Amino acid sequence: MVKFFKYLLATFLGGLVAGVVLFFIFLGIIAAFAAMGSKQQTVDTNSILVLELNGPIVERAIDNPLQSIMNGMSNMPQPQGLNQILESIDKAARDPRILGILLQSGMTEAGYATLDEIRDALMRFKESGKFVYSFAPVYTQKAYYLASVADKVYLTPGGMIEFKGIHSQRLFFKGTLEKLGVEMQVFRVGKYKSAVEPFTEEKMSEASREQTMAYTNSVWQHVLSGISISRKVDASELNRFASQMPMFADPQLFVDMKLIDGLKYKDELIDELKSMTGTAPSDDIPAIAGIDYARVYVEKAQRGFARDKIAVVYAEGEIDGSDSEGIQSEELSKAIRQARRDSAVKAIVLRINSPGGSALGSEIIWREVALARETKPVVVSMGDLAASGGYYIACAADTIVARPATLTGSIGIFGLIPNTGGLMNKIGLTFDGVKTNEFADMPAINRPFTPQERVLLQAYVERGYDLFINRCAQGRHVSKSAIDAIGQGRVWTGEMAKSIDLVDVNGGIADAIEIARSMANLDKFRIEELPELEDPIQMILKSFGGEARSSIEQWFLGEDAKYIRHIRAMKDAYPVQARMPFDIYMN
């Protein structure tokens, strides 16, 4: 009886605690909505736009009040949309109230292609005659690459700058799977299709090492070139300096190398900015945060209403993956179809940032892109990744634009199905059953495939690869053999891909929009972003599903959450995949 009352009391207290937590979350949501509806942003004369880009940068900003609350509770930075960042910088260039930009972005989390988009926007901003300053106590290598475009780059005395070259590493699960008694049965086409290797190998294959070294070197040379141009230091000197591991040396070395303009404390920086903006020593500098400036309206250079539109369709994440955060083939197809049928939409820019995913989902999206191309210009703009299935959905476009540091290609197909029979035996589970036909229980994950089943699956994968290279050959107007020669699952950077005709132009989303405008012969137009964003209520309801799980994983595991998502994605994935090793990380 005592135990019963203990359990009863524990249950009551647990419910009470949960109720209190939910009540405070509800109050937070109400407060968030009130803030959204009532707070109007104002910009003072002679202001500075402060950009703090120290968290994840996604392609498109999503206003999710519950996500904001959870990030705040866990002290995690709120993801920012690249579209919003670029719009704010371009808007600030024509805003007479903004004199300059202060970057406080020492810990940015973005790929090099994304950083190139922001660097280009900052260079356009500087062309308007305004200044860009950067200040941080610590710069990661990516953060310094972004900061190097500034007029002045300052580091706190005693601070640190990571500048050491690029490394790329993989996590391999083969040993763990063997201990568990799980065998991964692989069916693939492509010498370089290394997405399966984490489950079948203990280290990189020679083919995987070759391609990884090639694209890593390509990205590093691009980074050195960008810094060399911005800081007017020879690229070979920069490379030698990086090999000395200067991040642990006296930061004065960076001043001597002309990679930064000085060592300053925050108060010294403020004094300099007061002088730049004509602010009295006793007054605060007029400033506005980037996240607030995004809600400020500034009149555009193009006056009057434009009926004609260019639709920018966003495709970000894994294709038909295990949660709702990535690309859903039906949803994306619907958005492309909507743009195709809208007579006011004169051209489509498909913005892709994806490692690929379901081969079937990729084919479904490809069909809509091909249909759209028959009615109006379609231009693809590639972000950090547009590989495997990400390239599949791009290849039907009229023009493909990629950043030099974009990772693309990876034209190949694979199937990955586990055999858990060894694990079942270890824990004492057995299976038995009946079937009416020879292959009625296929695919079964509690036993190895028979030779006949292996032949069937391998043939299916090979047909998928043949269809893939056929789609690419049609889109790029070359032979299948030509695509096969540069396919085989090999990953290329955007710069490398341009030299082998997988990409037409090295540039960013602004270049893609300009190409689309020119192809459609437009003088005046407006941008329409698709798919349409869900309203905040829908976002909150959605957050209680798969997105909540991802947020909790990120909360507890931080950087390591990506490994859990990788395992779950492979577990829940469609059996046949057009995907690159999407957990690639480059510092």
Helix H or strand E segment including 293 = helix 290-293
Q: Are 95 and 63 in contact (CB under 8 A)?
A: no
Task: Give the per-residue SS3 of 277-290.
Answer: HCCCCCCCCCEEEH
Structure tokens, 319: 């294709």
For residue 346, what is the DSSP state?
E
Contact between 306 and 525 (Cβ < 8 Å): yes
Please report the beta strands in 410-519, taking only residues with DSSP state E, as ranges in sequence order: 413-419, 491-493, 505-506
Instruction: Concatenate the DSSP letters of all residues of 55-113 into one string.
Output: SBEESS----HHHHHHHHHTTPPPPEEHHHHHHHHHHHHH-TTEEEEEE--TT-B--HH
∠ Cα 321 323 326 (to 5°): 60
User: Is the CB of residue 141 less than 8 Å from the CB of residue 164?
Assistant: yes
Residue 570, token pair as written in the block: 């492979």
Residues 6+ apart with CB under 8 A from 163: 141, 144, 241, 242, 246, 247, 254, 259
What span, in angstroms and rounded, lies between the C-alpha atoms of 81 and 70? Answer: 18
Residues 355 and 318: their CA atoms lie apart, in Å, by 6
| CA 158 – CA 341 distance, rounded (Å) | 59
Q: From CA 547, how far away is CA 549, in angstroms rounded?
A: 5
Look at the alpha carbons of 542, 545, 548, 549 in this order and tell me if their dihedral is positive or negative. negative
Residues marked active site are found at 193, 388
Q: At what angle do helices 206-231 and 235-243 cross, to 10 degrees?
A: 120
DSSP assignment string, 295-316: T-----SS-S----EEEEEEEE
Q: At what angle do helices 2-38 and 536-543 cross, to 10 degrees?
A: 150
Q: Assign 3-class secondary structure to 315-344.
A: EECCECCCCCCCECHHHHHHHHHHHHHCCC
| Spatial distance between the Cα atoms of 178 and 423, rounded to a whole number of angstroms | 9
Per-position DSSP letters for 179-212, written without gaps between them: HHT-EEEEEEE-TT-GGGHHHH-SS--HHHHHHH
Residue with tokens 């390509």: 218
Q: Is 190 exposed, middle or buried (0-12, 13-18, 19+ CB in 10 A)?
A: buried
Q: What residues contact residue 304 under an 8 Å CB cut-off, 6+ apart? A: 524
CA–CA separation, 583 vs 469, rounded Å? 24
Q: How far apart are CA 224 and CA 229, in angstroms?
A: 9
